[in-house]
Amino acid sequence: MLGAGILSAFQVGKVPPVLQDIRADLAISLVRAGWVLSVFNFIGLILGTCTGAIADALGHRRLMLFGIGLQIAGSFLGSVSPSFGWLLATRFVEGAGFLAVVVSTPALIFQVVQEKDVRMALSVWSCYLPAGAALMMVLLPFYLKVTTWQGLWQINGVILALYGILLAKTTAGIPFLNPSQSFKFKRLGRDIFKTMTSPGPLVLALIFITYSLQWLAVMGFLPTLLLEKYGFSKALASWLTAGMVFLNIFGNLAGGRLLKSGCRRWILIALASFVMGSCAIAIYAPGVNFMLNYTGCLIFSLVGGLIPASVIGAAPIYAPSKNLISTTTGFVIQGGQSGQVIGPPVLAWLVSTTGTWTSGAWFLGSVALVGILLSLGMAGLKNLE
């Protein structure tokens, strides 16, 4: 099941290194390129909680496989994009499939692991995004030697199709968590309302907004920054970005270990938010100083990984009931998707308006400050670690 998340994250990692090629082929501005990055998450912005509730009602495995199918369709249709609007629509389809997978899978993991291993298992699961995005960025320069970005989209579709068949066979024995429940819109609305008004899920979702906004804004435009500011090759820019993303995995795993040893979630979130905000100053420092900029990216990603481990791992534990695990996960993911929709276009607009990447420092620093304040609010909630 971790593989489903990793392959879904391929659809995130495949865009940043080829963003310049897409801009050239479709004649789009930097701001529009920001929407190519963020529209992938738009479906989660509006339907994250609803998707989780549907998974709880209709079956997590079914929705996970349906999500793989949507990503296959989006990849193949995107590969023949004649215009910006067409590509944007297919990224929306891919994003819907991505959402279905990441909302459904934690509940399946919750079913198949022992209770004592839940925290660690969910910490490992939270690595799906950096693992998949980093792997794609490492492989991408080799793909681009033999194909274009359109061919890359098609290769992704084939890989997803083959894995979907394997996934359907290997998960066939996992039972439906709520077999006695039938799908009713009234109950669906009640479940969503109960989840969104529970203090734990609400705080988790808000914190995830601040994290994901910063992370995608930095990661998504790092290849562009390296190409424009330092004139690096596409391959080198892709590998350097992959290195940044890869370190996020160790942050996620460290977060799981620290939580298992008794560390408070709010402390980890506050620490990570402070470090991410501080690193933004180094990442977008004026002048030509590659080591300062890139070291800031590495620390930003490594320590930032404490947040998804703390937040995603908490969703099944602090769901209002065990039958609302995916609804809670969907609500948290909806927060994350909201941040990812907002972050890249706003950063692109600031850079285009001011003519300098330095404007990103105060923007991301302000968002990090909000994350710190939310973590302090989280500390005051009962029953939250």
- What CATH number is attached to the domain comprising 162? 1.20.1250.20
Instruction: Kindly state whether residue 183 falls inside one of the protein's structural domains.
Output: no
Residue with tokens 């435009």: 221
Give tens-digit pLDDT for 140-167.
888 888 889 999 999 999 999 999 999 8
Q: How far apart are CA 51 and CA 327, in angstroms?
A: 7
Q: How far apart are CA 222 and CA 218, in angstroms?
A: 6
280 or 45, which is more confident = 280
Instruction: Kindly state whether residue 324 falls inside one of the protein's structural domains.
Output: yes
pLDDT score of 161: 96
Domain count of the fold of the chain: 1
Indicate whether 57 pLDDT > 80: no
**Mean pLDDT of the 355-362 span:** 85
Least confident of 50-64, 120-134, 197-211, 294-308: 50-64
**Mean pLDDT of the 99-116 span:** 78
10 in Cβ contact with 64 (< 8 Å): no
86 or 356, which is more confident = 86
pLDDT score of 178: 57
Residue with tokens 């793989």: 68
Instruction: Kindly state whether residue 185 falls inside one of the protein's structural domains.
Output: no
Range of the domain at 305: 2-172+190-379
Indicate whether 180 pLDDT > 50: no
Give tens-digit pLDDT for 360-379.
888 999 999 999 999 998 88
Task: Give every CB contact of residue 253 below 8 A, 6+ residues apart in sequence.
Answer: 123, 124, 127, 305, 309
Instruction: Kindly state whether residue 334 falls inside one of the protein's structural domains.
Output: yes
Instruction: Kindly state whether residue 295 falls inside one of the protein's structural domains.
Output: yes
pLDDT score of 15: 87
